[in-house]
Structure 1
Amino acid sequence: MASPLYPSNNPSSSIVVTRDEFNAFHTIDRTLFSRLVFHLNRDVDQSFLAMCFLLLLEQSGYARDVIAYLVSLPDAFVDAVANEIGVCINLLYNLDFASTFFAASNDDNSIIPLLLSMTGGKLTLRLINQDREIFRVGVSKNWTDVGTRAFTDLCERAHMINREKLLALEREKFIEDMKRLRLSLQQENPNRLSVQQVKIASPPPPRPVEDETNKFHKEKEIMEAKEKEAVVAADDRTVFLTFSKGYPISEAEVRVYFTRRFGEVIEAVEMQEVEANEQPLFAKMVLKLQCASMMDQIVSARSRNKFTIDGKHVWARKYVRKIPYPASSSTHI
Structure 2
Amino acid sequence: MAPITLEELYQFHKIDRKVFSCLVINLARNPAQSLLVMALWLWLENIGFPNIIPMLANFPNTLINALADEAETCLEWLGLENRRIPNNGGLPLTSTLIHSQISLQFFTQKRFTVIASIKATLSKICTRIFTDILQHIFGSTSLAPSPQNLLIVPGFPHPLFGSFIIPPTHLEELDLFDPRIWDNKRVCDDVNDDDKTMFLTFSRGFPVTEDEVSHFLTSRYGDCIKVLNMGNSETGNQVLFATMILNNVETVDEILSGKYIAKFRVNGKHIWIRKYERRD
Please classify the TM superposition score into its range, dividing by the shorter chain length.
0.3 to 0.5
Would you tell me which structure has more helix in proportion to its own residues?
1
Please give the TM-score of this superposition, normalised by the length of structure 2.
Answer: 0.48
Structure with higher RCO (Cα < 8 A, 6+ apart): 2
Please give the TM-score of this superposition, normalised by the length of structure 1.
Answer: 0.40
Would you tell me which structure has more strand in proportion to its own residues?
2
